Amino acid sequence: MTASRTRALRLPLAAIVCSVVLLSGCSDSGSSGSGSGDSGSSGRKKTSTTQAAQAAAPATTNDLQSDYQKVIKGVLPSVVQIQASSDLGSGVVYDDKGHIVTNAHVVGSEKTFKVTTANNENELTATLVYSYPEQDLAVIKLDKVPDGLRAATFGDTSRVQVGQIVLAMGSPLGLSSSVTQGIVSATGRTVSESSGEGESGATIANMVQTSAAINPGNSGGALVNLNSQVIGIPTLAAIDPSFGNSAAPGIGFAIPASMVKKVADQIIKDGKVTDSGRAALGITGRTVVDADFQAAGVAVVDVKSGGAADKAGIQPGDVITQLGDTGITTITSLSEALAAEKPGQKTSVTYTRGGTAKTVEVTLGEQ
């Protein structure tokens, strides 16, 4: 699936309607009782039961509203607005040392940024620590840590379930400290970004799909559960090619917290990503088309010396058509197939060379 970065989208707010089942008693005005006293007592009991049930409805709604407000109060101070020279995005305070995690596409190629926190309108300055476009993540660091800076708590992605209520926090369209609501619509999605230049950007596996509105400026913010834990970094919104690549309402994607922590911890410790956990074939390729101008595979342009493809005998000019059981028609489909694999795993690669199809076993390398 291809999605576009949120800075180029307009999505309506998503909403959840919370239903409360009301218990109602049945009046029996036509029945005869043994006496007027019994009849009156029964009527009072029924009325009391009905009133109690009706009173339960606003209480339940108020409880949910109170949960929302508690989460917002607890997490929003950890969500910041990031201003680059031409782009605006969001970030999440990662620790008390001033490290902030965000999307790589928010920082772009820049090295310095202006940051505004939810509790302070004064602009702070920050410097890039490292950007990792392959996973669309980056870490920046405040030049001076203000008093009261609060780090967010990141949750366990493996415990995220479809149907969970979530809140998306960030600065959509420059409106700082904004919150939208929705649910977790799906987990384990593999999504390829659109680079905006006719080519695919990063391909990201295991993303959390949500119905919470994700608008331009939300990128790098926080997708939060009702336990006040960040379960993902909102990054992408789906596009609908049947409507001129316009935004598909209520379909957004967040990088899972587990990947965010894996990448951020390495960047903070080593200044770069040393263990991506992402499988690689070790080639540079491009999409090729058949006689009917339909995408038909990935032509190998270059092979990395000593890489997985090189060791398997794959050469420039070969056209890859299958990885394992997955058919390959475009460079995006190859990226998505690799995103589902792990470094060191063995798989098969089918390719054509001079019109002849060949299949070889490949031990995947690491990106």
Which are the catalytic amino acids? 105, 136, 219
Structure token digits, residue 272 = 């770069």
Q: What is the distance between the alpha carbons of residues 253 and 187, in angstroms, rounded to a whole number? A: 9
End-to-end CA distance of the chain: 21
Contacts of 351 (CB under 8 A, 6+ apart): 297, 300, 314, 318, 319, 320, 321, 357, 358, 359, 360
Structure token digits, residue 214 = 């994700």
Number of helices (H), then strands (E), belonging to the chain: the values are: 5, 21
Q: What is the distance between the alpha carbons of residues 53 and 40, in angstroms, rounded to a whole number? A: 20
CB 232 within 8 A of CB 254: yes
- How far, rounded to the nearest angstrom, does the alpha carbon of residue 296 sit from its chain's CA centroid? 30
Grouping H, G, I as helix, E, B as strand and the rest as coil, residue 323 is strand
Structure token digits, residue 172 = 């959509």
Q: Which long-range contacts (CB under 8 A, 24 or more apart) does 155-160 make?
A: 155/225, 155/227, 155/229, 155/230, 155/231, 155/257, 156/257, 156/258, 157/206, 157/208, 157/231, 157/232, 157/256, 157/257, 157/258, 157/259, 158/258, 160/184, 160/187, 160/208, 160/225, 160/231, 160/232, 160/256
Structure token digits, residue 296 = 């038909």
Q: DSSP string covering 288-315, please?
A: EE-TTS-EEEEEEEEE-TTSHHHHTT--
Q: What is the distance between the alpha carbons of residues 139 and 134, in angstroms, rounded to a whole number? A: 14
Element (H or E) spanning 72, and its range? helix 36-75
Q: What is the distance between the alpha carbons of residues 214 and 182, in angstroms, rounded to a whole number? A: 10
Residue among 72, 75, 82 at smallest CA distance from 154 = 75
